[in-house]
Amino acid sequence: MTDDTVLPGLRASIIVPTGGRRRLVERLLDGLSRQTADPTTFEAIVISDGATDGTVELVEGYQSVFPLVCLARPHRGRSAARNAGIAAARGDVLLMLDDDMEPVPGWLESHLVAHGAALRRCVLGAVPVRDEPDASPLEQWIKRNFEEHGEKLAEPGYALTLADFYSGNTSIRRAVLDEVGGFDEDFSLLYGNEDVELFGRLRAAGVEVTFSAEARAIQEYHKTFRDFARDARDTGRTAVLLARKHPELGPELVHFRGGRGVWRRVNGVLLWLARRSEAVPRLVVALESLVARLVPARRMPGFYWRASNFYFWLGVDDKQQGGEPVLRR
């Protein structure tokens, strides 16, 4: 680990929050060590959000060619961890990188090139999912989704929407982030919408948001269907928080999480049952492996989309019961 001497050529700060995924953090740091950018021009700040798996010890002992700092903090969520990293950063351009990302060698230079001379720009880098020969049907579906999403974002003239934004591989000038404010720490769940909330503020402030296919960081996606369901439910819960804070964004949230026709009615029945018994969402999780064995692979994307939609609205119901609804199907 290098010391914290301020270097005159320092230009970029890479901020990595982690809840404790030691192997992935090491892979990320190895990726930063292979950057084509001059290592004296960037620093990395890893924020341990309550990690207890040796991540802190790994970072503190890592022999980096670039300035590397580890901030160990009690668990408060990804937004608070990022804000701590932002406060400690010394670079002009701040890069947010999730701990499951492995930046390709030209990643940092591609981000900086995408900014150019623009002072009010936020750049999203590509986040393709790593090829895994033993990937589950769910992981294969997630991989295809990211591929299709990246292709859409790379289309000439494409204007990013609320549903397109993510912060796992994103860069922005410090002055712009200071202007709009950092990440909202009220979004403290493991997953969901702190990045979308930031996009809403960036857009309202007139900040240009662009995509760079060259600024690639390859993500490792290993999640069970139970994890997937939890993430979708948390996204619904935080969508309610987002709509209450920013009512103008509510219609867009419903648009990209809606449902039509027969599924809309079926989902309504499932949600009605789930409000009466938590056994219903647990049953859907339990059924996934059976469905994957019985249903042709080409039909599984439909199942996963509907399951995601069900758990999203279940999360919405979790937060809207007993109060005035801000999101309606």
Structure tokens belonging to residue 125: 């880098």
- Inform me whether the pLDDT recorded for 4 exceeds 70: no
Percent of the chain with pLDDT over 70: 95
User: Mean pLDDT lowest for which of 115-124, 203-212, 254-263?
Assistant: 254-263
> Residue 30 corresponds to which amino acid?
D
- pLDDT tens profile 109-157: 999 999 998 999 999 999 999 999 889 999 999 999 999 999 999 999 8
pTM listed for this prediction: 0.91
- What is the predicted pLDDT for the residue at 257? 61
Q: Are 67 and 36 in contact (CB under 8 A)?
A: no
Closest CA to 258 of 228, 236, 230, 226: 236
If you ran DSSP here, which 8-state letter would residue 129 be given? Answer: B
Taking a C-beta distance cutoff of 8 angstroms, is the pair 102, 32 a contact? no
Residue 188 structure tokens = 């403290």
Residues 6+ away with beta carbon under 8 Å from 293:
none
Predicted confidence band of residue 225 (pLDDT cuts 50, 70, 90): very high
In this structure, CATH architecture of domain 12-222: Alpha-Beta Complex (3.90)
Residue 327 has pLDDT above 90, yes or no: no
Environment class of 191 (CB within 10 Å of its CB; exposed 0-12, middle 13-18, buried 19+): middle
Q: Where are the domains of the chain?
A: 12-222, 226-320
- Residue 260's pLDDT band, with cuts at 50, 70 and 90, is low
